[in-house]
Structures are given as C-alpha cells and as structure tokens.
Structure 1
Amino acid sequence: MSRRKHLRHDDHDNHERWLVSYADFITLLFAFFVVMYAISSVNEGKYRVLSDSLVTAFKQPPTSTKVIQLGNQTVMGAPPKAVALPAPPVPNQATAEQARKMQEMASKVKSSLDTLIDQGKVKVTQSKRGIAVEISDSILFDTGRAELQAPSIDALTKLALLVKDTDNLIQIEGHTDNAPINSPQFPSNWELSGARAASVVRVFAAAGVAPQRMVAIGYGEYRPMDSNDSPESRARNRRVTLNILADNKDEVAVLPVDDSAKPAGQ
C-alpha cells in the first residue's frame, strides 16, 4: 500500500520545466548582444557633429514671445529689426555754385523781359532742368510765316547777350496750334515750327552765342499747352520756348513727353 502511494507521487508531472528553456534562451540572447556590442565601433565624427549641434542649439538666446498678427492668425516671433534710413544727400560745392548761377541768370532774364512778362506775352520759369522762356508767337511772327518781326529781334538779341558768355546749352523749340497749313514753303506744321525755331537760333548766333551750344527743334502741334477749341487756347499753343539747360555739358537733352500736362482730349 505504501509502495503504491510512493509510485503515484513519483509519476507527478512538472509543469514549470519551460522556465529552464526560457532562461537558457535569455542567456544566449544576452550573450549575443554582449558580443555585438564588443565588436561594434562608434563613429567619432558623427558623434562630434551631433554633440556640437546640441551645444549650439542650447547656447542660442531664446526668441521673443512677441505676438505678430498675420491676417486672422496670430503667431509668435522675433521683433522686427530696425532699418536705418539713408541720410539725405548733401549737395556738393559745384552743384550749389551751379544753382546760384542759374538763379542769377533767371533774375536777369526776367528783368530784361519784364515789360513782355507784364503783358502776358512771355513766361519765365525755372526748374532743375534749367530756365524756360516761353514767348508767344504773336510778338515774333506773322500768321503762317517764320520771319521774325523787327521789334522781336531786339528783345531776342537782349536775351542772347545774357547767355553769350556762359557755357549752358540752349534748346529752342517751335510750337504751333492744330490749324493745318499746306503751302509750298511749309507743307505741314512740322516745317513751320522747325523754321521758326531756326529763325531764333540765327538771331542768337548773330549776337555771339556759339552755334555748337544751340539746337532748333520743331514740335509742330503735338505738344500743346492748352486745348485747341477756342482762338485764345490756340494762341497759347503758338509759341517758341527757349530752354537754357542747367547742367548738360555733353549733349542737348530733349524734354520727354509729359502726358499729365496735356489738355483733355489730346
């Protein structure tokens, strides 16, 4: 009886034997990683790059928490940097001297033509480009002709003597109204305006102004000062303009077209 009990006890199954196999597997796996670690090597260059990047990132100052509004979104960002405005240009001595000379010349021109200015026949203006003297054709030419009237030659000669001893270039422009002309001498207003400008150039040359300083330009009817819808406005468009250029020593500059100055409908 006791023997049967003993035999039954020895035949009892052991359900925890899998732990032995599992422990052996973990031991082998640990040994494998130890061997792999032992034979591996660290890339020192990449390690240093990573290390330097981290150090640089942590050394940078923190960005501002100032709120920047972009449309309907609000973002955080650094404050805008101040932009230094350029200093205003300082005119040099030569420029200041040139401006002083042009101012004196403009005063002399106005004084010599004061009577015609008071009558509204002459207009003198000054700008950075120089001095512009606009003369109505009614005191210079007869209708449809390019020969100067005798009284106007004296006024032009007086003006030429004021600029004779300077080195400023002189641009003389002829302008007409839009009334067509078709004669053997002047087939169009181009020829008439150019001939009138050339007549003034000849007076200046006769007074002693160097011819190489002057140019005659005919604009015809294409640069009006006023509309051509009345006799008065057409009379204002018939003119000769003398431009005493301020600082064009190398070439005679032609004034570009200013569309804003044209009358409506031109």
Structure 2
Amino acid sequence: MGIPKKQESEDNPDDWLGTFADMVTLLMSFFVLMMSVSKVDMVLFEEVKAGMAKNIGKRESESPISEIKKDIVTVVESLEMKDTTSIGLKDDGVVIDFASASLFEPGSATVAGKAIPDLEAFAKAVGAKKFESFLIEVQGHTDLQPINAPPFYSNWELSAMRAAAVVRFFSQPQFNMAENRFKVAAFAHTIPKMPNFDYYGNPDPVAMEINRRISLRLTPMREQDRNARQMSQPAPADAAAPAAEAPAK
C-alpha cells in the first residue's frame, strides 16, 4: 500500500503582499487628500485674513475716535509744547497728556500766559462741531512729593484745582464747548506714569516731571450720557416760569 501524498495548500503564501499594498495605497491616498484639503484651507484662510484686515483697517480709519486723533495730532505738531505733549489711542477714546510745567508755574493752579496760545489752538480743534458728541474728562496728576502751601494742603487740592483751571479755560464762549461735556478728575500722585524713585530709592526728577501732568480723555458720548446732559441744559431765555395764580377773592 503506497503512502498517500500530502495535499498541498491551495493558498499562496504571498497573498498578504497584495493586501499590504492595497492598505499602503489607501493610506497614501488619504494623506494626499488631507494635504490637498489643508492647502486649500490655508489659501482660503489667507484670503479671509487679508479681507478682514482690510475691512478692519477701513472701519478704524473711518471711526470718530481715529478722526479726532488725526486732528489732534495735526494740532499738537504745531504747538510750542509739542515736545512735552503725548497722545495715546485707547479702546474707548483718545488720551492727551500735557506736562504740568507747560501749563502752570510751580506751585500754581493758574494757567500760565505762555500756555494760552497753545490751549486756544487745541480748544478750537476739539470744539469743532463734528466732535461735539465727545466727552472731555480733564485729569490732574502730581508726583509723590508732598505739598502744604495754602490753598494746596495736599496733592489732591493741587491736582483738582489745576484740572478745574483747564476746564474753566476750555469752557469760554469763544470755543463753543458746552460745559456739560466736561468732567474734572483729581488723582494726585496715585496714577504715576513712571516710578517716582529709582532702583536705589532716590527721587527720580525726570520721572517726577513726567508724572506731573494734565490728561485729557476724550470719549464718544453714550446714549445715557447724552440723555443726562440734555437734562442739564439751561432753560431757554424765553421760557419764563409760569406766573402764580392770583388768590381767589
């Protein structure tokens, strides 16, 4: 009786190579597709970003805040005190810092004669009709050195009276700025722009001079501000109070 031959398997031992090749092909196709989509998205992203930047820049250039800053920069560049005046753009408005030494004599809250021409030019610019919807907060700031020379018993009085003096100047009739646009704020030495003392604890005269300033903060009037200020307007001259009724006979 012969020995039966072992039946050979019909499976090809190299079949797995075909499956592997298919998987590699699918993976390559997947990554090629992902890269293609990514490139399209990047192009689209760059286009969107460029469009947004253009639109944002256009809106900013047309905003009232940007417009008033442009006018103020033009005026400040023509002032004698331009080297001691700085302008900053905030989210809600424009801030202009005048060095106190440019506006006042030491220990005084009276506007110095040398400052009048510059303040007049500035007031005419801010008093333009197109900016009449802006509120003007005038802030007084001092350095940390104490003062006790009546009527300034502290830096609070000095900063308050200097800010009030600037408001009084701007509210003159020739500048056409309604008094209800103004606000006076006194901060004394509490909000310095620079440390009043150096690393060794010695007074820094340059920093102190920078901290002594009058800040003007110009912000667009909100609806509630507009309503409140309308109520504060004086009554027309011809709106006389109603006459009292005569007593009954």
- Residue 181, structure 1, aligned to residue 147, structure 2: yes
Q: Distance in 2 between matches of 1:168 and 1:134?
A: 17
Q: Which runs of 4+ in 1 moved over 3 A?
A: 96-99, 115-119
Give the conservation status (yes or no) of the 8 Å contact 1:170–1:215.
Answer: yes
Name structure 2 gaps, 5 residues minimum: 1-51, 53-58, 198-203, 227-249
Shift of 1:128: 1.8
SS in 1 for 2:94: strand
SS in 2 for 1:103: helix
User: Which of these residues, 220, 223, 228, is aligned with residue 196 of structure 2?
Assistant: 228
SS in 2 for 1:226: coil
Match of 2:137 in 1: 171
Q: Distance in 2 between matches of 1:175 and 1:226?
A: 12
Q: 1:250 to 1:158 in 2, by over 3 A?
A: farther
The one-letter amino acid paired with 2:155 is: N
Q: Mark the structure with the bigger radius of gyration.
A: 1
Q: Distance in 1 between matches of 2:220 and 2:70?
A: 15
The one-letter amino acid paired with 1:234 is: M
Deviations 1:49-103 (A, max 9, x none): xxxxxxxxxxxxxxxxxxxxxxxxxxxxxxxxxxxxxxxxx9xxxxx59952221
Q: Distance in 1 between matches of 2:100 and 2:80?
A: 14
SS in 1 for 2:108: coil
Match of 1:120 in 2: 83
The one-letter amino acid paired with 2:185 is: I
Query: TM-score scaled by structure 1?
Result: 0.55
Q: How does 1:1-266 map to 2 (within 5 A)?
A: 96=59, 100-116=63-79, 120-164=83-127, 165=129, 166=131, 167-206=133-172, 207-229=175-197, 230-251=204-225
Shift of 1:184: 1.9
Structure of higher RCO (CA pairs closer than 8 Å, 6+ residues apart): 2
Name structure 1 gaps, 5 residues minimum: 1-89, 91-95, 253-266
Give the conservation status (yes or no) of the 8 Å contact 1:98–1:246.
Answer: no
Query: TM-score scaled by structure 2?
Result: 0.59
Q: Distance in 2 between matches of 1:155 and 1:238?
A: 18
Relative to structure 2, which stretch is displaced further, 187-196 or 158-167?
158-167
SS in 1 for 2:63: helix
- What's the Cα RMSD here? 2.9
Structure ranking higher in helix proportion: 2
The one-letter amino acid paired with 1:231 is: P
- Equivalent pairs counted in the alignment come to 163
Q: 1:116 to 1:250 in 2, by over 3 A?
A: same
Q: 1:221 to 1:249 in 2, by over 3 A?
A: farther
